[in-house]
């Protein structure tokens, strides 16, 4: 069976409110919730997300890896957790960042998800330069074969939206 590429769109808003099959979470290695997108997804998804993280990832998840849990109370069916590199802590290997997006699509394919909402991974607290984070996201999502039909790049503010739109061309 031949695989295609997903249609990419930029939207500005709350990733937890996206009506898609799967929402991608920019998680930390511990997989127990945190700040930014991770905290918002755990708060909106409720305790079922954390319970599933504990069950599926008792030892957490390595940087650059992806895995899934229930979405709990979110409109989505699944949360695909990716652990982005912490640029501020010296994790500057871009392949760790791009592997988050490629891994998220691979997990979405395993789940049968056809629509996915994706944040800018590592561009917040982890300090990845915004324009490069946007370029890494768009380039990887454009070039990775997938059965996903729609990828929404969800921008959390005007700067992120501008960077994503510029990367999208």
> Could you tell me the residue ranges of all domains in the chain?
7-168
Check pLDDT > 70 for residue 117: yes
- What is the share, in percent, of the chain residues with pLDDT greater than 90? 93
Which structure tokens are listed for 62?
A: 């390595």
- What pLDDT, on a 0 to 100 scale, did the predictor assign at position 103? 98
What is the rounded average pLDDT of the residues 34-49?
94
Q: What percent of the chain has pLDDT over 70?
A: 98
Q: What's the pLDDT band for 115 if we cut at 50, 70, 90?
A: very high
109 given a catalytic annotation? no
How many CB atoms lie under 10 A from the CB of residue 102? Answer: 19
> Is 3 a residue whose pLDDT tops 80?
no
Mean pLDDT of 126-143: 97
How many other C-beta atoms lie within 10 A of the C-beta of residue 114?
Answer: 16
Q: For the chain, where are the E strands, in sequence order?
A: 7-12, 22-27, 66-70, 78-83, 115-118, 150-155
Question: Are 148 and 112 a contacting pair, CB within 8 Å?
Answer: no
Q: What is the CATH number of domain 7-168?
A: 3.40.220.10
How does DSSP classify residue 167? H
User: What is the structure's pLDDT at 1?
Assistant: 39
Average pLDDT over residues 99-115: 98
Q: Which residue is catalytic, options 4, 19, 38, 157?
A: 38
Averaged pLDDT, 104-126? 97
Mean pLDDT over residues 40-56, rounded? 96
**Chain center to CA of 93:** 18
| Residue among 78, 67, 87 nearest 27 (CA) | 67
Cα distance between residue 1 and residue 19, in whole Å: 28
């Amino acid at each position: 069976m031949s695989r295609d590429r997903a249609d990419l769109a930029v939207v500005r808003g709350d990733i937890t409110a996206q009506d898609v099959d799967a929402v991608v979470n920019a998680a930390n290695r511990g997989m127990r919730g945190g700040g930014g997108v991770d905290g918002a997804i755990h708060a909106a998804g409720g305790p079922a997300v954390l319970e599933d993280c504990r069950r599926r990832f008792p030892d957490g998840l390595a940087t650059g890896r992806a895995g899934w849990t229930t979405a709990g109370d979110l409109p989505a069916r699944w949360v695909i957790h990716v652990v982005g590199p912490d640029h501020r802590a010296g994790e500057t290997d871009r392949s760790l960042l791009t592997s988050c997006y490629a891994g998220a699509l691979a997990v979405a394919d395993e789940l049968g998800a056809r629509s996915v909402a994706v944040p800018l991974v590592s561009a917040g607290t982890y300090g990845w330069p915004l324009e490069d984070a946007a370029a890494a996201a768009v380039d990887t999502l454009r070039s990775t074969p997938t059965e996903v039909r729609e990828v929404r790049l969800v921008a959390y503010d005007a700067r992120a939206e501008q960077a994503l739109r510029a990367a999208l061309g």
